[in-house]
Amino acid sequence: MLAHVGGSMSQLLVKNAIVGRLVSAKSNLQSMMEMPTLKRARSTPAARPKKIAVEGNIATGKSSFIRLLEAESPEWMVVPEPVARWTNISNDEEGSEVTLSQKSGGNLLQMFYDDIKRWSYTFQSYALLSRMRLQRNPLPDALCEAKNPVQFFERSLQSDRYIFAKNCFESGVMSETEWNIYQDWSTYLLHALGELRLDGIIYLRAEPEICYQRMQKRGRPEESGVTLDYLKCLHEKHESWLYRNEVVVDQTLQDVPIFIIDCNEEFIDDKPNQEKMMQSVRKFVKGDTSVCDSGIDSTNSSLDSIADTSGSDIEY
């Protein structure tokens, strides 16, 4: 009897507890629905952002160029290369994630250039991982509301692999086993994370000698031992892929348009040139590939010919 009473009591308590939880869940739901200011965790993008990679040799001017892009439209965002992660000098916003390698205090870029044979596999793995992580970050809310959002990536997972890692293998500093393992998991990740598919590539093209001068002028300490020969090797890989179209590095890139900009000349302080450059980029972003045929030269004469065909029907 007692047991029965006890049983009924506990059943009642359990029932009450369930009802109580249901009631409180319902009232929570009600109050949530009644709260007009309740913030959603993350907006869902109104449109899939176009993804465009900005490629080019070391010190060709990519960072300078993407700063121009960033200022061009509120619907454009840039994803810079995570070089601060590799050198451990994180100047990211407060609250951003601190990676394991940052905690350990290494300067992987320095380690790589000091002893490429020892660190090439480690560097290439980490470069790919950190690039992937950054490029997959959710879109900021402002871009979720944009009608024509565009993300510009400073370099891509493909250049990581087919320019840098491949060069390490071909120049003998990465062993065949390391190269095979790197390829194995980078292929797996590239396919598993299909959302990083590119819609276009902008190739900033400059002679390796010019890049070498700019690199020296910039004076990043880690790069003090980088040779002109190394830049020539990287240049040749860029040219074969993006200029001469000799290799299809990845099936997903087969029909992706490539817009080549000649960056041999100074454009940093040249406002009219910058404006023409941005006009062509706007056309390219809109899907007008006529700019790819004519290319763009940062010398005035060639830029004029681009300006003739670019018109002024700019949407962004």
Ligand X SMILES: Nc1ncnc2c1ncn2[C@@H]1O[C@H](COP(=O)(O)OP(=O)(O)OP(=O)(O)O)[C@@H](O)[C@H]1O
Query: Which of 65, 153, 164, 203 is the binder for ligand GNG (CB under 6 A)?
Result: 164
Is 214 within 8 Å of 75 (Cβ atoms)? no
Tokens read off for 229: 């020969």
Q: Does 183 bind ligand X (CB under 6 A)?
A: no
Q: Does 55 bind ligand GNG (CB under 6 A)?
A: no
Q: State the nearest-atom distance from the C-beta of 59 to ligand X, in Å.
A: 4
Q: Does 202 bind ligand GNG (CB under 6 A)?
A: no
The Cα–Cα gap between 285 and 153 comes to: 13
Largest CA distance in the chain: 102
Q: Does 208 bind ligand X (CB under 6 A)?
A: no
The Cα–Cα gap between 200 and 280 comes to: 13
Q: Does 127 bind ligand GNG (CB under 6 A)?
A: yes
User: By C-alpha distance, which of 48, 57, 36 is closest to 196?
Assistant: 48
Local structure of 290: helix, strand or coil: helix
Residue of 55, 75, 154, 178 marked catalytic: 154
Q: Which of residues 210-269 bind ligand GNG (CB under 6 A)?
A: 223
Q: Does 214 bind ligand X (CB under 6 A)?
A: yes
Local structure of 51: helix, strand or coil: strand
Q: State the nearest-atom distance from the C-beta of 112 to ligand GNG, in Å.
A: 6
Q: State the nearest-atom distance from the C-beta of 134 to ligand GNG, in Å.
A: 12
Q: Which stretch binds ligand GNG (CB under 6 A): 90-98, 119-127, 132-140, 277-285?
A: 119-127
Query: Which of 68, 80, 83, 90 is the binder for ligand GNG (CB under 6 A)?
Result: 83
- Looking up tokens 């003090």 gives 224
Task: Assess whether 239 carries a catalytic annotation.
Answer: no
Q: State the nearest-atom distance from the C-beta of 114 to ligand GNG, in Å.
A: 13
Strands across the sheet containing 296-297? 76-79, 150-154, 50-56, 200-205, 258-262, 296-297
**What's the Cα-to-Cα distance from 62 to each of 19, 94, 170, 264, 268, rounded to whole Å?**
61, 25, 25, 12, 11
The Cα–Cα gap between 203 and 260 comes to: 5
Q: State the nearest-atom distance from the C-beta of 127 to ligand X, in Å.
A: 12
Task: Read off φ and ψ for residue 200, nearest 5 degrees.
Answer: -170, 160
Q: Does 61 bind ligand X (CB under 6 A)?
A: yes
Q: Does 126 bind ligand GNG (CB under 6 A)?
A: no
Give which of ligand X, ligand GNG, none residue 60 binds (C-beta under 5 to 8 Å, depending on kind): ligand X
**Active site residues per annotation:** 154
Residues that bind ligand X (CB under 6 A): 56, 58-64, 81, 214, 217-218, 263, 266-268
Residues that bind ligand GNG (CB under 6 A): 58, 81, 83, 109, 112, 123-124, 127, 155, 160, 164, 223
